[in-house]
Amino acid sequence: MRFSSAIRTTLVGAAVVAALAASTSQLTAATLVGAGPGPANLAAPIVNQPATIESPLREADHPALFARAAATRNAFGFPVGSSRVGLHVQDDIQGAAYDEVTEVNSSGQPMAMTQFNSDGSLLDAVRFDSPALTLLVLSSDSATRTALRALTASGMAPSGQVRTEADQSAGGWDLHWDRAQAGFTVRGDETRVHVWRDGRIQSVARVEHKLAAAPIHPIGRAGALLAIVRQLTAWFGAASSGYAIQTMDLEWVGSNAAFDATRIVAAAQPYKLAWVANVRPSGAASESLQLITLYVDAGNGTVIGGDVAE
């Protein structure tokens, strides 16, 4: 990289010399730093952001955690390291706390990792090596059978229909069993397994949020539609954009700060039953925005969050 560094310095330096040679009377600070009309803003302070705090966990002090990690590793066929490193992580970046056990090889390199909630339930298990080079074409059915066997062996047998997606980055299949409660999807909650093309499991995750009580008299589809149209009219009335509601479904969702900056630092709340509307913008908004998703509280009709695809 030293070579590259030298090239970078030389190139930038050469640009400056060229600028100077071209016009010695137009030597300005802007030329020196190569700044265009928009400042590089190098002096802007780095605002303190959340971080992680780790505490070491020794196997002798936490035998149950390490036994759980070993059982999980074995159920998913992950590699066995020459040693294990345990950590309790207060992860303020992700807004979570968990215990983590990493399988480490003799060179100190992580081979696989498992993370558990404070109640001992699995959050995530992942191996860090690469898939074997293979000409095998693994079908999604075979991948599903492999995943189901491993999940059953680890006591995590999922229910419901599997959803499969071919993975462009790592190859193989992403398998999702979406969680439902009282007949409604819990948005984002799932058991997810990634199976490599060589038939080995790369990762398993379980995402499960607490749910609030469902409203006794949830707003019906017609009432929700009125609330959503009222909201969209208020939003887009002032802009040269239109909208078309594509879908509207009841789901359990987490309120979020998507459209309300005051909620950015708010503590996570149990998921609520909400009408989830996918809205396709048209006009000026469609140049930069492909989809707006709104969460409308099924109890009181207020917008409690959503998402955007830019």
Partner 1 sequence: MKRARRLLVSVLLATSALGALAQGASAFQGVVWSNSDSFSYRCLGITDTFPQQLYSMARSRMAALGYGPIGGAIGPSFSSSAFLDTVLPSWAVYVHSHGDNYWATSGWPRIDSAFLQDPGPTRCSHYKTDAVRSSAIKTATLGTRYNLVIMSTCRLGSTLSTMPGAFQIEKVKNNTQREFFLGYVNATYDGDMLRFERAFWSYLSRASGPRRTLYRAFTYAASIGGYDAPDAADPFQANWWGNPTYDGRPG
40: contact with partner 1 by CB under 8 A: yes
Under rule CB under 8 A, how many of the chain's residues touch partner 1? 105
Name the token pair of 19. Answer: 């600028």
CB of 217 vs partner 1, minimal distance in Å = 27
42: contact with partner 1 by CB under 8 A: yes
What mask, x for binding partner 1 by CB under 8 A, covers residues 127 to 146? -x-x----------------
Amino acid at the residue 234: A
- Whole-angstrom Cα distance, residue 136 to residue 140? 12
- Which one among 162, 285, 298, 304 touches partner 1, defined by CB under 8 A? 285
- Listing DSSP states for 203-269 in one string gives EEEEE---BPPPPSS---HHHHHHHHHHHHHHHHTTTTEEEEEEEEEEEEE---STT-GGGTTPPP-
- Which one among 74, 82, 94, 121 touches partner 1, defined by CB under 8 A? 94
27: contact with partner 1 by CB under 8 A: yes
Give the phi and the psi of residue 71 in degrees, each rounded to 5. -65, -40
99: contact with partner 1 by CB under 8 A: no
97: contact with partner 1 by CB under 8 A: no
- Whole-angstrom Cα distance, residue 202 to residue 229? 44
Stretch that binds partner 1, among 28-36, 60-68, 139-147, 213-221 (CB under 8 A): 28-36
Give the H/E segment covering residue 124: strand 122-127
Site for partner 1 in 224-253 (CB under 8 A): 234-239, 241
Give just the sign of the alpha carbon dihedral 50, 55, 57, 58: positive
Nearer to partner 1, 38 or 183 (CB): 38
Stretch that binds partner 1, among 66-74, 142-150, 216-224, 256-264 (CB under 8 A): 256-264
